[in-house]
Amino acid sequence: MTGSHRESGDTSGPHDGTRCVHAGLPEPVPGQPFLPGPVFAAPYHLDPWAGPAATPNGYGRPDNPTRRLLEAAIGELEGGDCRVFASGQAAITGLLLALLKPGDTVLLPSDGYFPVRAFATETLAGIGVRVLFAPTAGPYPDLAGVRLVLLETPANPGLDVVDVPALVDRAHAAGALVAVDNTTATPLGQRPLDLGADLVVASGTKALTGHSDLLLGYVATRTPALLEPVTSWRTLTGAVPGAFDAWLAHRSLATLDLRLARQTANAEALAVLLAGRPDVTGVRWPGLPDDPAHRIASAQMRRLPGVLSFDLGDPERVARFVVAARLVSAATSFGGLHTTADRRAQWGDDTAPGFVRLSCGVEDTVDLVADVTAALDAAR
């Protein structure tokens, strides 16, 4: 699961690396760059007679050619039509507010991204949406009367995994929609729309773009009736990324396959190292054979994430570990080129005081293993 990949037996198209390099690019024109530069425009020239009907570009909030190229690229990777947002949080809150109305019921992961849970209890519940929670690994309640089930798999930060096709069948039988947060996996790790989900939502800030230099989110679907209200919400609220961020994101997609391959290899090596140390507890990575998520992840995912988690017992030991490490920086977010450690409890997340989410970068595996080993020894 660590190299350029496509589904077993699939001969219908190119492999992941090729798809990433060419996703969303316009047809080649002599004298033009592979990826056109960002279009910085608020208003555009309009046809004096036909007005905005004569051109796809009228005003920068709903219309930008740089943004449309990025949406085409992500849409190709996810297998649906895409709308990009100013951040992952803007995308997921926009999706929830566009599809839910007072009196609806939404089911969210109790172990998912903490700001989404806070938004649900503080904002959705405040406008009359009934909010339910269930752990990613289950059990799930009766879904009768639920309008939308939001899944996050692998969950952030605990890395539990849910059987998406099985839960989709249950949800659809009850008349509920299913959206999957694909941030941790990326579309190269899994394609939720292929697994039956109605919508995909993700933060592109993290592994998708992977250079820790922009904020981005997106929603993708194959259902026009779901895309329309999401698009309208984005237009009316103005939650759009800037042209340069869209261009940076599209540029970064070309190396996604390469970056994920190294990050997954590093995660596997570190997970094995950490699981074998008596001074480290609670190691989670779906690729470990004895991990609770291993069976479902191995069957459902096309490749495993470069993120793992573990517990060092207390905040002071976490700090000593990070200070002693040469290749591990203290930072939130994940999926970047540099290996980072985040003690989630410091952000108000309901995790143990010594819980660490480690995001593997693209450093050489042997160097990273040696550095983490030395830092853990020094932190004891």
User: Residue 2's pLDDT is what?
Assistant: 42
Structural domain boundaries of the chain?
16-253, 258-379
Indicate the pairing of strand 355-359 with strand 307-311.
antiparallel
Query: Which run of H or E residues covers position 358?
Result: strand 355-359
Structure-block tokens of residue 149:
């089930």
Report pLDDT digits (tens) over 62-97.
999 999 999 999 999 999 999 999 999 999 999 999
**Nearest 10 degrees: CA dihedral of 201, 206, 207, 210?**
140
Per CATH, the number for 16-253 is: 3.40.640.10
pLDDT interval class at 348 (50, 70, 90): confident
Structure-block tokens of residue 196:
């039956």
In contact, 153 and 180? CB cutoff 8 Å: yes
Using the predicted structure, report yes or no on whether residue 1 has a pLDDT greater than 50.
no
User: Residue 5's pLDDT is what?
Assistant: 57
pLDDT interval class at 10 (50, 70, 90): low
**Closest C-alpha among 218, 185, 229 to residue 90:** 218
Average pLDDT on 89-116 reads: 97
Computed over every residue of the chain, the mean pLDDT equals: 96
Separation between Cα atoms, residue 197 and residue 72, nearest integer Å:
20
The whole-angstrom distance between residue 21's C-alpha and the CA centroid of its chain comes to 19
In contact, 226 and 85? CB cutoff 8 Å: no
Using the predicted structure, report yes or no on whether residue 9 has a pLDDT greater than 70.
no
User: Residue 349's pLDDT is what?
Assistant: 87
Average pLDDT on 134-157 reads: 97
Average pLDDT on 303-311 reads: 98
Q: Which letter does DSSP use for residue 374 in this model?
A: H
pLDDT interval class at 273 (50, 70, 90): very high
In contact, 132 and 140? CB cutoff 8 Å: no
Half-sphere exposure of 219 (CA within 13 A, CB side): 32
Using the predicted structure, report yes or no on whether residue 6 has a pLDDT greater than 80.
no
CATH class of 258-379: alpha beta
Average pLDDT on 56-66 reads: 96
Using the predicted structure, report yes or no on whether residue 275 has a pLDDT greater than 60.
yes
Whether omega before 154 lies within 30 degrees of 0, making that bond cis, reads yes
Separation between Cα atoms, residue 157 and residue 111, nearest integer Å:
8
Average pLDDT on 44-70 reads: 95
pTM: 0.95
The whole-angstrom distance between residue 24's C-alpha and the CA centroid of its chain comes to 19
Using the predicted structure, report yes or no on whether residue 372 has a pLDDT greater than 70.
yes
Average pLDDT on 224-232 reads: 98
Percent of the chain residues topping a pLDDT of 90: 95
What 3-state DSSP class applies to 281? strand
Using the predicted structure, report yes or no on whether residue 3 has a pLDDT greater than 70.
no
Separation between Cα atoms, residue 363 and residue 285, nearest integer Å:
19
Provide the terminal-to-terminal Cα distance of the chain, rounded to the nearest Å.
34
Report pLDDT digits (tens) over 174-222.
999 999 999 999 999 999 999 999 999 999 999 999 999 999 999 999 9
